[in-house]
Structure 1
Amino acid sequence: MTPAEKAQARAVSLRRIGALFIGHRRQLAVVVGVIVISSVLAMVSPFLLREIIDVALPDDNLTLLVWLVAGMVAVAAATSALGVVQTWISTRVGQRVMHRLRTDVFAHLQRQSVGFFTRTRTGEVQSRITNDIGGMQQVVTSTAGSIASNATTVIATLVAMAALSWQLTLVSLVALPPAVYWTRRVARMRQAITAQRQRELAELNVIIDEGLSISGIQLSKTMGAGDAQIARFTESSHRLIDLELRSELAGRWRMATMNIVFAAIPAAIYLAAGLPFSTMSIGTLVAFTGLQAGLFRPLMSLLDVGVTLTSSLALFQRIFEYLDLPVEVEEPARPVRIEHVRGHLRFEDVTFVYGDSETAALAGVSLDVPAGSSVALVGETGSGKSTIASLIARLHDPTSGRVTIDGVDLRDLSLADLASIVGVVSQETYLLHTTIRENLRYAKPDASDEEIVTAARAAQIHDLIANLPDGYDTMVGSRGHRFSGGEKQRIAIARTLLRDPRILVLDEATSALDTETERAVQRAFDALAVGRTTVTIAHRLSTVRDADQIAVIDHGRILESGTHESLLDQGGRYAGLAR
């Protein structure tokens, strides 16, 4: 990226950061008003101090002294109270912006296709939402208020100093240009380091996710890879130490030098005040140096905020990168609703290509499954059977052609309506780390206990659940590892059946079941398939021989289709698989 492109990216990021606060303009206007009032009030104290030193004390005017001291106390109390109000409003606004960022990123990622998650490491996604957004918290919650507060204080202080002595004010600003220059240098250094640090944090998250999940622990123990995993984590953590140190120390010597220069300027002013030709009163000198000290603090804070904001652009860019991801499977602008779903499923010359692959996973697939009938897809591993199932559930959209239900293109149905029509039970079972009851209700949050039991009975899992000490309130454990593969699969089957879908997709749904349980579940499926459209994918032909039609898939194409008997009579690929 050229310097011009980097500058353009920075400008865009700053505009987008500012846009996050547009909905909170009133609150921010109140904050700015409070800051202005507080800054103006704070400028009164040095003038009150000058009057105390030059007038009240030399004249022994006790009444004036009391009023001036009371005024100083009142100013301090008022600015403190205003500071509390400012902090409360700005923090509240900042937290709402953080909430919006978190929810926007999470919601946008929820709309991403399955393909995105197969290409992206889980730990990387988690790191963006937690580490990157968490790292932005200080910027979002306090930067706007800090900029307004410090800028207002600097301006008010300069006006007050000029009113006391414009010549000394010019002397005080000698160190400002080099301070701005070095601050910009430091900001660019920290921005680069911050980007590196966030990438390393993402890598650490990936190691944690892969190494401490139940599946990762089992793999590590069975492969004897524990020491290697510890070494990998240790190296990543050690790299983080170096990056954190570099981030904190970046430009510290330069900034320390500026602090020395800022400290030397008051000393020079004291020296100037002591020269024979100086006519400055002691009160003016004390008030001016007090203002000067009050100038350098907000000025350095303002420069530090610039450093923090610039370095945090790396975080914002990582978040905006996710928010700008195109949604591959989009909600239709004007969804079509099927009033009475029959479940007539059709593939019309469907071709599908994964990502940048040069080979089509499906090529010209046409399939007609009348409402209430069953179709079985058979073929070797990788032939395209599961891809067909994913298109029915609209986990992907066809590259060309279309898939319809009752004549309506799936792309014209809302995703929620499609999910209520199509139920999928796959060979890869995923259970949430909660109770069996809540796992089942995930499919239908308002399901009654009676409906849950009915679905569990249909999936041949109710008796096992009922015999557990906690019954349906039993925790399934991380990813359901408390149960065997067959038990998990039957829970997943019950979860799908609870939604009562008109189209049932069974993608190797009984692959983890023993023969006896498979027969029981198959009988349940046969009973439930009455009146439903059923798409079954299986390797064991014994489970599909009674299907109304069987389609043999090979390299993304349908080689032959028909009933079990007709395909055997043809003596083609299906007959070979049967043998």
Structure 2
Amino acid sequence: MGSFLRLVTLLKNYKLPLALHMMSNLLMALFTVFSLPAIIPFFQLFLNQELSQPVRPEEPFAFSNADEYLKFHFLSWLDGMEQAEAMLMMCFIIIALFFLKNFFHYMALFFLAPVRNGVVHDLRSMLFDRILAMPVSYFDDKQKGDLMSRFSMDVMEVENSILKSLEKAVREPLLVVGSLLFMLYISPGLTLFVFILILVTALIIGGISQQLKKKSTIVQQTLGRLLSFVEESISGIKVVKAFRAEGFLQGRFREVNKYYKYVLNRVLWRRDLSSPLSEFMGITVVCMLFYVGAQSVFRGEISSEAFLAFLLAFFYIINPSKNFANAYYSIQKGMAGLQRIEDLLLAPDHMPEKGNPAPFKELKKGIRLENVTFEYNGAERAAINNVSLEVKAGTTTALVGRSGSGKSTLADLVARFYDVSSGRILMDGVDVRDLKLSDLRKMMAVVSQEPVLFNDTIKNNIIFGYGEASMEAVERAAKMANAHDFIMETSDGYESGVGDRGNLLSGGQKQRIALARAILRDPPLLILDEATSALDSESEKLVQKALEEVMRGRTSIVVAHRLSTIKNADQIAVLSEGELVEAGSHNELMDKRGEYYKFINLQSLSDSD
């Protein structure tokens, strides 16, 4: 219920159309109820009876006897007419009432459309904002397909199951209440009998709907797994084909897909049961009502035309009740999707920004790591263990070591993609956890081993996250990154598209675009994470030349294993199994003949091979 109420709070942004929707529904219900007493004179004429004579109420007009005055004026208007003429007038009145009823029904739907679409728009915006606000650690154990499912299938489920049903959930009770009031006016005893029957029906349907919600949750979770599996298979299609793993993946996919079909069948069976069950229960109630009502007519407790109007009012209840039951089923089904959306929206932020964070505009002194330890969630050992290191402003520090030694993790900690488990990382003497996160990120640029390009133009990928930039600034950054020449060789220059994830460019071209993006920001701190390791020798030379130009006089942290990248660094920090084993310049560490010396010799042998 809490999730549903939070969804309802989104409606506050659409007060005017929602109010007009409610008013239209109310007017539709009123004209529906007004058509019930108007039908009684019609039945009297149809049964070849004389119309009742108008009798003025003895008491003064009041709300309690408004129906009597309405009946008096209505019969006075018809008094003196021929039977055929009165029948024609009654037909016109009924047509007018039903026209107004359906007109306001359409208006209710008209005003609801911007509310439904607006709430869906807000939900997707909230989800996307939340995704961007979550720390990198949140995504370590999350499947991308499952997150995409929440954006697409779960939001769609909320729209189709809940928001689509809200109109019925509001309109149908109004029709039911209005019809019940008329029925109470005709015969309180019969109405009580009907109410008891409807209550029993509602309890039966409600019990089934609770099971529907549980099954729907399983369906949404399984669909998330399915989409995640497809996304991974598409992303790794080259590996799949290279290792001839099509059969293996097909088997796993069919297993998940088969289970999805299994649980979806059970959800649909339960949901589809609502309509026939409601109809069966409804006709059962009708038959019982016919029998009990006929006895009242035979005993003279109620006139035949009043009983027919009572039956019509009851029929006005059946469809709304059936629609309300279907809406209730749909809402229960949609609650599963809403819950998954809320799981993301309400996920705890493990890297919250402190209140009144310190501004950070310039890196003057440098960066200092004090006894830094870090463990990934669920890891058996620390990825970084008690590391202390100082990086002076304007210098380059290279992080080297074997694979898995913690180099990239240490760089991620400096960028505050993760928070340390213990110890501190200080920038100009201030703990990074006390700094304003947006200021910290504005002061740095990151170039990773696998450059991330978006399906946009080359220019927009270079200015990504920067905002507006002149063409001269973009070209200057591209020239510094040795990218301008190949860009100008493309069909549309800087307006050329790069394709999905930059697949229209080579690895070296993508890396130089990513480097141009970093250069354009002109950051005080540059973090390069294996920026040249995946490139061929020709591309590496071009990128390396650009890097040397960019790093000159700038605080830089370089994660690398190639000698060409690290030998000119002011400081080299050697990591092994998450620990800092030695630090110094290239010559100093070579003279020590320690871990760095071994590492360089192994790398030299590898390069000679």
Query: What's the TM-score, normalizing by structure 1?
Result: 0.91
**Aligned residue for 1:301?**
323
Q: CA deviation at 1:19?
A: 3.2
**Aligned residue for 2:338?**
316
Q: Contact (CA 8 Å) 2:278, 2:322: kept in 1 or not?
A: no
Which amino acid in the other structure matches residue 401 of structure 2?
G
**Aligned residue for 1:353?**
375
**Aligned residue for 1:387?**
409
**Aligned residue for 2:69?**
none
**Aligned residue for 2:604?**
none
Secondary structure of the equivalent of 1:43?
Answer: helix
Matching of residue 199 in structure 1 with residue 189 in structure 2: no
**Aligned residue for 1:222?**
242
Q: State the distance in 1 between where 2:397 and 2:8 align.
A: 55
What are the within-5 Å matches in structure 2 for residues 96-175 of structure 1?
A: 96-175=118-197
2:444 pairs, out of 422, 428, 444, with 422
Matching of residue 273 in structure 1 with residue 298 in structure 2: no
What are the within-5 Å matches in structure 2 for residues 447-458 of structure 1?
A: 447-458=469-480
What are the within-5 Å matches in structure 2 for residues 175-574 of structure 1?
A: 175-213=197-235, 216-250=236-270, 256-271=276-291, 272-273=293-294, 276-278=298-300, 280-342=302-364, 344-574=366-596
User: Which stretch of the first structure deviates more once superposed, 108-117 or 273-282?
Assistant: 273-282
Which amino acid in the other structure matches residue 51 of structure 1?
P
Q: Contact (CA 8 Å) 1:456, 1:494: kept in 2 or not?
A: yes
Which amino acid in the other structure matches residue 504 of structure 1?
L
Q: State the distance in 1 between where 2:119 and 2:275 align.
A: 31
**Aligned residue for 1:44?**
34
User: Which stretch of the first structure deviates more once superposed, 244-253 or 153-162?
Assistant: 244-253
Secondary structure of the equivalent of 2:382?
Answer: coil
Q: CA deviation at 1:123?
A: 0.4
Counterparts in 2 of 1:520 and 1:170: CA distance versus 1, 3 Å = closer
Q: Contact (CA 8 Å) 1:374, 1:549: kept in 2 or not?
A: yes
Counterparts in 2 of 1:269 and 1:140: CA distance versus 1, 3 Å = closer
Q: CA deviation at 1:280?
A: 3.9
1:89-131 C-alpha deviation (Å, 9 max, x unpaired): 2332222222222111221121222222221111011011111
Q: CA deviation at 1:63?
A: 5.3
**Aligned residue for 2:10?**
20
Q: CA deviation at 1:209?
A: 0.9
Q: CA deviation at 1:343?
A: 6.4
Q: State the distance in 2 between where 1:573 and 1:228 align.
A: 42
CA RMSD after TM alignment: 2.5
Counterparts in 2 of 1:224 and 1:546: CA distance versus 1, 3 Å = same
**Aligned residue for 2:606?**
none
Which amino acid in the other structure matches residue 121 of structure 2?
H
Q: Contact (CA 8 Å) 1:94, 1:140: kept in 2 or not?
A: no
**Aligned residue for 2:93?**
71
**Aligned residue for 2:61?**
none
Q: Tell me the percent identity.
A: 30
Q: State the distance in 2 between where 1:253 and 1:462 align.
A: 65
Counterparts in 2 of 1:251 and 1:445: CA distance versus 1, 3 Å = closer
Which amino acid in the other structure matches residue 565 of structure 2?
T
User: Which stretch of the first structure deviates more once superposed, 19-28 or 538-547?
Assistant: 19-28
Q: State the distance in 2 between where 1:253 and 1:438 align.
A: 53
Q: CA deviation at 1:279?
A: 5.5
Counterparts in 2 of 1:484 and 1:466: CA distance versus 1, 3 Å = same
Q: State the distance in 2 between where 1:246 and 1:278 align.
A: 50
1:285-311 C-alpha deviation (Å, 9 max, x unpaired): 321211111111111222222222223
Q: State the distance in 1 between where 2:506 and 2:490 align.
A: 14
Counterparts in 2 of 1:501 and 1:283: CA distance versus 1, 3 Å = same
Counterparts in 2 of 1:420 and 1:189: CA distance versus 1, 3 Å = same
Report the count of equivalent residues: 567
Q: State the distance in 2 between where 1:31 and 1:387 align.
A: 55
Q: CA deviation at 1:64?
A: 4.2
Secondary structure of the equivalent of 1:283?
Answer: helix
Q: Contact (CA 8 Å) 1:392, 1:422: kept in 2 or not?
A: no
Matching of residue 53 in structure 1 with residue 74 in structure 2: no
Q: State the distance in 1 between where 2:275 and 2:162 align.
A: 24
Q: State the distance in 2 between where 1:520 and 1:265 align.
A: 83
Q: CA deviation at 1:253?
A: 5.5
Is the radius of gyration larger for structure 1 or structure 2? 2
1:532-552 C-alpha deviation (Å, 9 max, x unpaired): 111112112232122111111
Gaps of 5+ in 2: 51-81, 602-609
Q: Contact (CA 8 Å) 1:343, 1:533: kept in 2 or not?
A: no
Which amino acid in the other structure matches residue 369 of structure 2?
F
Secondary structure of the equivalent of 1:153?
Answer: helix
Q: State the distance in 2 between where 1:14 and 1:524 align.
A: 55
Counterparts in 2 of 1:483 and 1:176: CA distance versus 1, 3 Å = same
Q: Contact (CA 8 Å) 1:182, 1:254: kept in 2 or not?
A: no
Q: CA deviation at 1:28?
A: 3.7
Q: State the distance in 2 between where 1:542 and 1:276 align.
A: 106
Secondary structure of the equivalent of 1:250?
Answer: helix
Gaps of 5+ in 1: 1-10
Counterparts in 2 of 1:329 and 1:43: CA distance versus 1, 3 Å = same
Q: Contact (CA 8 Å) 1:341, 1:502: kept in 2 or not?
A: yes
Q: State the distance in 2 between where 1:399 and 1:359 align.
A: 12
Secondary structure of the equivalent of 1:531?
Answer: coil
Q: State the distance in 2 between where 1:365 and 1:335 align.
A: 25
